[in-house]
Amino acid sequence: MDATKLVNVTRGNLVESSHKGHVAVVDSKGQLLYFAGNPNAKVFARSSMKPIQAIPVVETGAAYHYEFSDADLSLCCASHNGENMHTDRVLSILARSGMEDTCLKCGTHIPRWQDTYKQLILEGKDVTPLYNNCSGKHTGMLATAKHMNEPIGNYYDLDHPVQQRILAAVSEMTDYPKEEIEIGIDGCGVPVHGVPLERLAYGYAKMAKPDELSEKRRNAIKRITKAMVNAPEMVGGTDRFCTDFMRVGQGRFIGKAGAEGVYCIGDLETGIGIAIKIEDGNGRGVYPAAVEVLKQLNFLTDQQIEELMGHFRPKLRNARNEVIGELAADFKLQRAGAHQE
């Protein structure tokens, strides 16, 4: 099945362009409930997989041994802005684990948060891996390796025990065979996992309602979801959808963005998982689509939608800061079954 139009981009009265994509809505039993486009499209989850990648941080005992707070564990699930609250916490976790930021192997990029970048320039400091939006995830991986007495210099390699534990968790949570998971390399240098979209949604459904899982796995997941909803500012930061969405959800939802237009949601109230992929990879289209899915499922109140309006119907502005258009979702979820005919 082909991708379907999810979001229109308007300029004045004209639809100037559109973003096509796919949506899968799955319950905690693995049943596909609703979809748009092709729910079986195989996609790289990118950073949307981070909450699942964090499971071994808890299951190995590393989070307990190094006294991770909710904010610490939430940061392990983050694609953060690089604000001081993020980088200070990375350094704190590393110090407690007996390591320094030179151990991070996530590479460098300009911090998302421009105030941080400006300050680095003013102080004549270099941009280091500390400011990489994935440094929290890498810190969790390092802490796990250190706790398990494993090498820390190559924790990012696929054959390293850290990555093998993650691969096993991804396979178990998505109920998808390890040998069929497509393996690529993420922007931060660690393995990235490709699975069918509806399997990714299933993984989030199990994150939202882990009742049928082992006690060890159930406890780890509950620790992670509690951390994310209690410290949503760590998952993204100021003016980020993940943070704003979880705050507005008031503990009901976890949500995590992934590069190339991926977004995943777990509804802790119903045990439903949602996975969205924008076909052209443009992340600007995924947030209006995500809010629209929740709206069609009646998971958000009118007040909550209003509070998310800046992400749901983001305005487009020109160089003079004048509003010249907007993004708006334009699709209808279909009930599962029709795609199989």
Per-residue pLDDT of 277-307, as tens digits, reads 999 999 999 999 999 999 999 999 999 999 9
User: How confident is the model over 202-209, as a mean pLDDT?
Assistant: 98
Q: What is the pLDDT of residue 1?
A: 80
d(CA 324, CA 317): 5
d(CA 304, CA 249): 8
Q: Tell me the Ramachandran region of residue 297: left when phi exceeds 0, alpha when psi lies from -120 to 50, beta otherwise.
A: alpha
* 132 has pLDDT over 70: yes
Looking at residue 179, the DSSP 8-state letter turns out to be: G
b/e sequence 224-262, b meaning 16+ C-beta within 10 Å: bbbbbbebbbbbbbeebbbbbbbebbeebbbbbbbbbbb
User: How confident is the model over 209-231, as a mean pLDDT?
Assistant: 98
pLDDT bucket at 337, cuts 50 / 70 / 90: confident
* 339 has pLDDT over 80: no
- The mean pLDDT of the chain is 97
The string of DSSP letters for 215-243 reads HHHHHHHHHHHHHHHH-HHHHS-TT-HHH
How wide is the angle at C-alpha 112 spanned by C-alphas 121 and 93, nearest 5°? 90
Q: What is the pLDDT of residue 170?
A: 98
User: How confident is the model over 180-207, as a mean pLDDT?
Assistant: 98
* 116 has pLDDT over 90: yes
The percent of the chain in helix, strand and coil, each rounded to the nearest 5, is: 45, 20, 35
pLDDT bucket at 74, cuts 50 / 70 / 90: very high
* 330 has pLDDT over 60: yes
Query: Encoding tokens for residue 223?
Result: 């620790």
214 in Cβ contact with 207 (< 8 Å): no
256 in Cβ contact with 240 (< 8 Å): no
d(CA 303, CA 270): 20
In three-state secondary structure terms, 24 is strand
d(CA 326, CA 245): 20
The identity of residue 142, as a single letter, is: L
Q: Residue 244 contacts by C-beta under 8 Å, 6 or more apart in sequence?
A: 307, 308, 311
150 in Cβ contact with 120 (< 8 Å): no
337 in Cβ contact with 39 (< 8 Å): no
d(CA 210, CA 1): 31
d(CA 39, CA 20): 13
Beta bridge partners of residue 44, listed in sequence order: 194
In three-state secondary structure terms, 127 is coil
90 in Cβ contact with 75 (< 8 Å): yes
* 187 has pLDDT over 50: yes
pLDDT bucket at 338, cuts 50 / 70 / 90: low
User: How confident is the model over 149-167, as a mean pLDDT?
Assistant: 98
Determine which helix (DSSP H) or strand (DSSP E) holds 4, and give its type and residue range: strand 4-11
pTM for this one?
0.96
User: How confident is the model over 95-117, as a mean pLDDT?
Assistant: 96
User: Alpha carbon 97 to chain centroid distance?
Assistant: 25
* 341 has pLDDT over 70: no
